[in-house]
Amino acid sequence: MKRWILLQTLVSMEYFRKSVTPITICRAFFDKRISQEVSGDARGEEFEGYVFKIMGGCDKQGFPMKQGVLCFCTEGRDGGRRRKSVRGCIVSPDLSVRNLVIVNKGENDLPGLTDVERPGVRGRKRASKIRKLFNLSKEDDVRKYVTTYRRTFTTNSGVV
């Protein structure tokens, strides 16, 4: 099972006004589409060697990016048009949030993102999938390998 690490970047207009370099950092992502891969060298020295995949984002009004959105939204009948609630799939300067996934890891570790190994919380449910994951035979007991999702709750008196 391949796990991707999600990197979400939030860029505000005050950040752009402070210096000129953030515009050059974001320029590597402009005019790229969802699911295209971008080199992380343009983001700075800490991202050198990384390759990111664009998975989505939101613009300043909060509309999410979606693949395959047409520019002209018409209902096909006379009357009021439907209001646009999504944006297209091309990265532009009016995006406030970009969702990126690390495809290839570079030589430097990113603190809090790639230096910590976080195991998946939920495992497989189906017995055949668990057998395939742990290389078990049909005679082996699968119940030892099932992860339960039960949490323990305590009341004010300390009783569960």
What is the per-residue burial (b if ≥16 Cβ within 10 Å, else e) of 57-95?
bbbeeeeebeeeeeeeeeeeeeeeeeeeeebbbebeeeb
Neighbours of 28 (CB within 10 A): 16
- Judged against a pLDDT cut of 50, whether residue 34 lies above it is answered with yes
Q: What is the residue-averaged pLDDT of the chain?
A: 77
Record the tokens describing residue 116, joined without a space: 């910590």
- Residues 51-78 pLDDT 10s: 999 999 888 888 898 887 765 555 556 6
Residue spans of the domains in the chain: they are 5-104, 119-160
Bridge partners, residue 102, by sequence = 5, 52
Q: Mention every residue, 6+ apart, whose C-beta is less than 8 A from residue 97.
A: 8, 9, 10, 11, 57, 58
For 102-150, the pLDDT digits (tens) are: 899 888 888 878 888 777 677 888 999 999 999 999 999 998 888 776 6
Tell me how far CA of residue 54 lies from CA of 40, 73, 80, 89, in angstroms.
12, 25, 34, 10
